[in-house]
Amino acid sequence: MAAEMAEQPERLAALIARRDDVIRRVGPLLDGITGTVIVARGSSDHAATTGRYLLEMATRRPVASASPSVQTLYRADVDFSGYLVVGASQSGRTPEIATYLERAAAAGARTIALTNDTSSPLAAVAHAVVDLGAGEERAVPATKTVTAELVGFALLAAAAGADPGEAAWDALPGQAAGVLADAEPMNGLVGWLDDARRLATLARGPLSGAAEETALKLQETVSLLATAFSAADLRHGPIALASSGIRVLAFAHPGPAVVDVVDLCGELRTRGADVRLLGPVPGAVCGWDLAAPEMLAPVLAVVRGQQLAYGLAMHRGLDPDRPFDLFKVTAT
């Protein structure tokens, strides 16, 4: 896991270097769409959470997360005419993702696969493939393939017109390297979580995917009961958890959502929660490069979450590469 985390700047740079080719190939599929549906599971679904925000703002058309069982179990006759369907799967071998994409294409959809294996069943049924090019990932907890998927979704948004600019793309690998070289602040949070039995992660906007992915990494590596919340959803009932003294890890980056997240952190503290904030914002225990645009900041936030999960696993004497009874590809 540590070695694959360390590869991320190089892998991201290689993917970004191919951005013109990716945008050229997927651009026609985004032209004139009615809306977008994204189908994914696990870490890929967390990257897709960020992707939903980016694509809805870029295409100015609704974006939804698919319920694969509608196709794989109920085999509903859905008309996908005019829709773009994006299947995200690192392996490309999760059966229901490939099945959903294949059935959607047969029902009129334009389809794109985001995958690390261009010879996979998912790639075979897609009209266009975004090759993540992350290389073999041996550790069960996904790291470099997740950040590559986040870049993949940002590339789709760029193809729809929301390009952050050459300078932002070129800076991202170095910004990721900077986070990786600055692990000490996250190691400091290891002690904070050492005796924790529950954790809530939260964010709002594109960083929501990073909150989800960090929760999953902690679930996978140390079996911590971690639950991700939207800052908006947390206010509707779950905020009552604060009185139990629950630990909360929040993510924020300058943009339209930052004020709400920071204000919520303050409210949670007054209600009794033990809160830590991550991001280049006031009051954070650590962050990442402030210059990163909000659409690319989830990449850096996810790397912070990886550092925390890896550090806590090592502190507890656990093997983060092979968590108990977990496997790389889960058939559903």
Look at the chain and count its residues: 332
> What are the tens digits of pLDDT across the range 143-166?
999 999 999 999 999 999 999 999
User: What single-letter amino acid sits at 222?
Assistant: V
Tell me the domain boundaries of the chain. Answer: 2-163, 171-315
Kindly tell me if the per-residue pLDDT of 332 is higher than 60. Answer: no
> What are the tens digits of pLDDT across the range 233-242?
999 899 999 9
- The DSSP code for 329 is -
Q: Tell me if 2-163 shares its fold with 171-315.
A: yes
User: What would the CATH number be for the domain defined by 171-315?
Assistant: 3.40.50.10490
> What are the tens digits of pLDDT across the range 47-106?
999 999 999 999 999 999 999 999 999 999 999 999 999 999 999 999 999 999 999 999
SS3 label, residue 170: helix
Distance, in Å, from the CA atom of 98 to the CA atom of 84, rounded to the nearest integer, reads: 15
Contact 64, 38 (CB under 8 A): yes
Output the DSSP codes for 47-102.
HHHHHHHHHHHHHSS-EEE--THHHHTS------TTEEEEEE-SSS--HHHHHHHH
- The DSSP code for 205 is G
Q: What is the mean pLDDT of residues 26-40?
A: 97
pLDDT over 70 percentage in the chain: 98
> What are the tens digits of pLDDT across the range 273-298?
999 999 999 999 999 999 999 999 99
Q: What is the mean pLDDT of residues 9-17?
A: 98
Kindly tell me if the per-residue pLDDT of 329 is higher than 80. Answer: no
User: What pLDDT, on a 0 to 100 scale, did the predictor assign at position 133?
Assistant: 97
Which of 195, 211, 192 is CA-nearest to residue 203? 211
User: What pLDDT, on a 0 to 100 scale, did the predictor assign at position 330?
Assistant: 63
Please identify, in words, the CATH class of the domain defined by 2-163.
alpha beta
Q: pLDDT-derived band of residue 331, with 50, 70 and 90 as boundaries?
A: low
Total-model pTM: 0.96
User: What pLDDT, on a 0 to 100 scale, did the predictor assign at position 193?
Assistant: 96
For all residues of the chain together, what is the average pLDDT?
Answer: 96
